[in-house]
Structure 1
Amino acid sequence: MNYFIGLDSGGTFMKAALLDRSGHQIAIAKVSAKVINSKQGWVERDLDALWDDAKAAISKLLTTTDINVDDIKGISISAQGKGVYLLDKNQRNLRNGILSSDSRSLDIVERWQAEKLPEKIYPLTLQTLWTGHPVSIIRWLKDYEPENYEQIGAILMAHDYIRFRLTGEVHAELTNISESNFFNANTGNYDAELLALFGIDEVFSALPPIIKPDQLAGYVTPEIARETGLKVGTQVFGGLFDVVSTAVCSGIDESADSLNYVMGTWSVTSGIADNIPPLDYRYVYGHYVVDGQYIIHEASPTSAGNYEWFVDYLGQNGEFNHQENEALVAALAPASSDLFFVPFLYGSNMGLGLKAGFYGLQAHHSKGQLIQAIWEGILFCHNVHLDRMRVRFPDATSLRVAGGSTVSNVWMQMLADLTGMSIEIPCIEETGSLGAALVAMAGAGEYPSIQAGFKAMHVDIKRFHPNTSHYEQYQRKYRRYLQLVAFFKAFEEQKYD
């Protein structure tokens, strides 16, 4: 039997899973991941600490199983997208990594928007423009850390950096770099004219060679083999943007009858298509794992991370009692409260600079009503994305949902009732690790493609059907939520008057 390691670098944990060719998880190891919030809006990660987490997860994994490392035929990585992880001109770490949830470049993006730059670049990149994009962060470095900007030797994203540390080889993986705004969607490569529009053309030479997800990127070096327990020469493959990894493991395809929902730190709604029709709305298009196909998605950091933030206030000993919280919410009538929560703790999907908050909070409100409002607000943010995506995918009748929130039956029923769509939850413990392992399987020749590997695996589906009697109640409260956010937006805009 051949085995494969899928490494999943997330915002909370670094996970390493060992899987066989059938997708059966033999073992998994998790290491807490740490971010640095030294200033308002800054979200960074120490690069050596990131690599230490990856090494620790792999080493821990290998000690939990008696599988011979000679039988591990490949390793790959699924990781958060965008942000920047920099090497200097001597391939050494250059400052902390900056994550996609970082908003330090807000003033730059606001200026670009005023200059109508997003409208200029979209026909070339098929991307929107916001603070977490590599181009926005690189421009911030040019303006505020010119000494670091001048030393940039390679611009990487999270899985590119981890792969570099495993192999010593520098590459940029396609599904992630295609959504960077460095990348011209028409030519399928970097575009120096794009960089000139952003005023960062000096770093064009720092953009690494592009590789596909299942393309061989290099081999585990002797030094890393000693430090992790891996075999020298173990094959390392390109990897995946974690949004793509989750889409693969959801089983959605170009048939367009299902969309993929991710409920984690980020709220993500994705669909798959093989064409780009003329539409008024600017959807985000990235390269998918199938040649000629695109992943189309809407995303914002407005999902379950906003709920996890409250653990110190509504939890115990640093954790939620999920059974208790579910029971509290289940005892309440659906969408019956006048209490609203706007989940913009980490950013907004309704405008730059909008802040989070409760509205309607009064002394009589209970813990259960607070949790209900938080859950509703997160679902409403998801629904903003879904409303837009339904224009692009009008035949979608079901949502394939992934993320930690799926353990809550009450929350998933709320989602079904709000959307009027069937909710389907693939019973996969770790979609990021499985997606990365599928990449390694395809790259090593175990399957003819990543999708073929997934289709060969049996995945059970848990389903929730909408209660139509609750649909209008949720939609009525959702419309009020949109009105409330519009008021917040108008209030925020007054500071510029």
Structure 2
Amino acid sequence: MKYWLGLDCGGTFIKAGLYDLQGNELGIARRNLAIIAPQPGWAERDMPALWQTAAAVIREVLELFGIKATAVQGVGISAQGKGLFLLDRQGQPLGNAMLSSDQRALALVQAWQKAGIPQALYEQTRQTLWTGHPVSLLRWVKQHQPERYRQIGSVLMAHDYLRYCLTGELACEETNISESNLYQMARGRYEPALAQLLGIGEIVAALPPIVGSAEVAGRVNSSAAAATGLLAGTPVVGGLFDVVSTALCAGLQDETRLNAVMGTWSVTSGISQTIETGFDHPFVYGRHAEAGQYIVHEASPTSAANLEWFCQQWGMHDYRQLNQWVAALPKAGSQLLFAPFLYGSNAGLGLCASFYGMQAFHQREHLVQAIFEGVVFCHMTHLKRMLQRFPHTRALRVTGGPAKSAPWMQMLADVSGLPLELPQVEETGCLGAAMAAMVGTGAFPDFTAAQQALAPRLESVQPDAQAQAAYQHKYQRYQALIGALQTLQSGHSKEAL
């Protein structure tokens, strides 16, 4: 048998999966990844510990299922995008990595916004500017840690770093680096003038070559082989930004379907062959894995991680019980609202999470229902914008942990008014990474062929028209709450000035 290994590095877990040529999952190994928060708003990761954990899950999945190293034809990596993974000039980790949810550069991004820098960048990069972008973090390091900045030898993101650990070869993968604000979208290359505009012009020398998602970027070296159990010389492809990985596994190929990802981040993605202009909203574009295509997406760290936090605080880990609680309550029957901004906001920089309308009679089940609703309402901010860009959308394909929750999916269908299609893929990050490895090693000629061959079974959820009116009323109250929070935050900002 021949297998392809997909490694998926997310916000809270790293997973390794093995797949055959039909896309059948032989098995998954997963381990938790710690987020280090030395100061409020900081989100870091120990880079050597990340590699050790990655090596451990690869070895574990091979040993657990008795797979010989010679059976693995190639390796792909899918990972959370943005953030900053730095190496020094000797190729060693330069402090902790900074994750995409890191908010230390908040004041810097606010200053850039006042100066009109995002608008100046957008025409070239098709990106917005926010705290987790590599350029924001680089400029912060330059200002606050100048000695560290002077030692930078290479600028990477998560899957670039893991690929480097496997192969010893430095490269930046295109679906991810195309969303760094260092990449000129029309020309498909780094643009030094962008770095100059952001005050980090000297960093261009530390940017590795750009590689494609399915391009063989290196081969497993002897030290990585010893750590992982893989065979030295096994091809390792460029890999994928995890948003692209999930879109591939969701089967997006035209503009009739959007992919809603519900996990640490709330993401709505679509695939297009063109960059469209003339919208009031600056849509984010990135290079898609398939040549000649773009991925368009809206995203914020406002999704199911809010529920995870709540469960951790109160020691609740029975998700079946949570679903039963929510299913037993009248739809939109509670006045309780929740703004899911524990890790960031899509309604303005600096907004924080909040329950509103809580009274003594409210029980835990009402709080859980409010979290479910708040995540869906927040997701609607992205979905409504994306429907302007993709007006021919006929259904929403949903991936991520909440896709396993029947009441949560029914709620999303009811609020959005769209039919949902749920791809039956256990781990989209691992399968997408393995798909890139299949294409890169010649098992399929391109990603379109791979998608068609590996197309998953779909389950559907139809919206309940009777519930939509109640949800729309509550959604309006949610929007009013967000407006009040924006006013409060604006007042605080003025006081700080």
Asked whether the two chains share a fold, i.e. TM above 0.5, the reply is: yes
Q: Which residue of 2 aligns with 1:265?
A: 264
Q: Which residue of 1 aligns with 2:282?
A: 282
Query: What is the aligned-residue identity percentage?
Result: 49
Alignment partner of 1:396 is 2:402:
no
Tell me by how many angstroms 1:204 deviates: 0.7
Tell me by how many angstroms 1:168 deviates: 0.3
Tell me by how many angstroms 1:397 deviates: 2.1
Structure 1 counterpart of 2:267, one-letter code: V
Q: How far apart in 1 are the matches of 2:382 and 2:66? A: 45
Q: Which residue of 2 aligns with 1:347?
A: 344
Q: Which residue of 2 aligns with 1:463?
A: 460
Structure 1 counterpart of 2:149, one-letter code: Y
Tell me the TM-score normalised to structure 1 length.
0.98
Q: How far apart in 1 are the matches of 2:427 and 2:195? A: 36
Structure 2 counterpart of 1:34, one-letter code: A
Q: Which residue of 1 aligns with 2:422?
A: 425
Q: How far apart in 2 are the matches of 1:382 and 1:27? A: 31
Structure 2 counterpart of 1:234, one-letter code: T
Q: Equivalent residues in 2 for 1:311-322 (5 A)? A: 311-316=311-316, 319=317, 321-322=318-319
Is the 2:45–2:97 Cα contact (8 Å) retained in structure 1? yes
Tell me by how many angstroms 1:354 deviates: 0.4
Tell me by how many angstroms 1:337 deviates: 1.3
Tell me by how many angstroms 1:446 deviates: 0.4
1:169-218 CA deviation, whole Å, 9 max, x = no partner?
00000000000000011211111110011000011100110000000111
Unaligned 5+ runs, structure 2 = none
Q: Which residue of 1 aligns with 2:190?
A: 190
Is the 2:249–2:455 Cα contact (8 Å) retained in structure 1? no
Q: How far apart in 1 are the matches of 2:99 and 2:135? A: 13
Tell me by how many angstroms 1:11 deviates: 1.3
SS of the equivalent of 2:297 reads strand
SS of the equivalent of 1:14 reads strand
Tell me by how many angstroms 1:67 deviates: 2.5
> What value does the CA root-mean-square deviation take over the aligned residues?
0.9
Q: Which residue of 1 aligns with 2:47?
A: 47
Tell me by how many angstroms 1:330 deviates: 1.2
Q: How far apart in 1 are the matches of 2:456 and 2:187? A: 37
Structure 1 counterpart of 2:398, one-letter code: V
Tell me by how many angstroms 1:34 deviates: 1.1
Q: Which residue of 1 aligns with 2:160?
A: 160
Tell me by how many angstroms 1:31 deviates: 1.4
Q: Which residue of 1 aligns with 2:249?
A: 249
Q: Which residue of 1 aligns with 2:57?
A: 57
Q: How far apart in 1 are the matches of 2:124 and 2:85? A: 24
Q: Which residue of 1 aligns with 2:15?
A: 15
Is the 2:299–2:382 Cα contact (8 Å) retained in structure 1? yes
Tell me the TM-score normalised to structure 2 length.
0.98
Q: Which residue of 1 aligns with 2:98?
A: 98
Is the 2:251–2:455 Cα contact (8 Å) retained in structure 1? no
Structure 2 counterpart of 1:376, one-letter code: E
Alignment partner of 1:377 is 2:374:
yes
Alignment partner of 1:386 is 2:370:
no
Alignment partner of 1:82 is 2:82:
yes
1:328-373 CA deviation, whole Å, 9 max, x = no partner?
1111111121110000000000000001010100101111111111
Q: Which residue of 2 aligns with 1:27?
A: 27
Q: How far apart in 2 are the matches of 1:288 and 1:76? A: 16
Q: How far apart in 1 are the matches of 2:274 and 2:228? A: 43
Structure 2 counterpart of 1:393, one-letter code: F
Alignment partner of 1:473 is 2:474:
no
Q: How far apart in 2 are the matches of 1:486 and 1:59? A: 50
1:219-276 CA deviation, whole Å, 9 max, x = no partner?
111111112111110011000000000000000112x111000000000000011111
Structure 2 counterpart of 1:363, one-letter code: A
- The runs of at least 4 aligned residues of structure 1 exceeding 6 Å deviation read none
1:449-479 CA deviation, whole Å, 9 max, x = no partner?
1231121124111110000111121112111
Is the 1:424–1:464 Cα contact (8 Å) retained in structure 2? yes
SS of the equivalent of 2:321 reads helix
Is the 1:442–1:453 Cα contact (8 Å) retained in structure 2? yes
Structure 1, 477-486 or 262-271: larger mean CA deviation: 477-486
SS of the equivalent of 2:373 reads helix
Q: How far apart in 1 are the matches of 2:315 and 2:462? A: 30
Structure 2 counterpart of 1:96, one-letter code: N
Structure 1 counterpart of 2:273, one-letter code: D
Q: How far apart in 2 are the matches of 1:77 and 1:224? A: 15
Q: Which residue of 2 aligns with 1:111?
A: 111
SS of the equivalent of 1:326 reads helix
Q: Which residue of 1 aligns with 2:226?
A: 226
Is the 2:4–2:19 Cα contact (8 Å) retained in structure 1? yes
Structure 1, 274-283 or 460-469: larger mean CA deviation: 274-283
Tell me by how many angstroms 1:96 deviates: 0.4
Tell me by how many angstroms 1:398 deviates: 0.9
Q: How far apart in 2 are the matches of 1:495 and 1:38? A: 24
Structure 1 counterpart of 2:36, one-letter code: I
1:274-297 CA deviation, whole Å, 9 max, x = no partner?
111222210000000111111000
SS of the equivalent of 1:309 reads helix
Is the 1:31–1:57 Cα contact (8 Å) retained in structure 2? yes
Is the 2:62–2:68 Cα contact (8 Å) retained in structure 1? no
Tell me by how many angstroms 1:315 deviates: 3.8
Q: How far apart in 2 are the matches of 1:387 and 1:362? A: 32
Q: How far apart in 2 are the matches of 1:312 and 1:148? A: 35
Is the 1:441–1:450 Cα contact (8 Å) retained in structure 2? no
1:109-145 CA deviation, whole Å, 9 max, x = no partner?
0000000111111001000000000000000000000
1:419-450 CA deviation, whole Å, 9 max, x = no partner?
01001110001100000000000000001012
Q: How far apart in 2 are the matches of 1:288 and 1:265? A: 21
SS of the equivalent of 1:310 reads helix
Structure 2 counterpart of 1:432, one-letter code: G
Structure 1 counterpart of 2:46, one-letter code: D
1:382-426 CA deviation, whole Å, 9 max, x = no partner?
001001111001111211000111111011001100001001110
Is the 1:314–1:367 Cα contact (8 Å) retained in structure 2? no
Q: How far apart in 2 are the matches of 1:401 and 1:9? A: 20
Unaligned 5+ runs, structure 1 = none
Q: Which residue of 1 aligns with 2:123?
A: 123
Q: How far apart in 2 are the matches of 1:39 and 1:145? A: 15
Tell me by how many angstroms 1:314 deviates: 4.1
SS of the equivalent of 1:193 reads helix
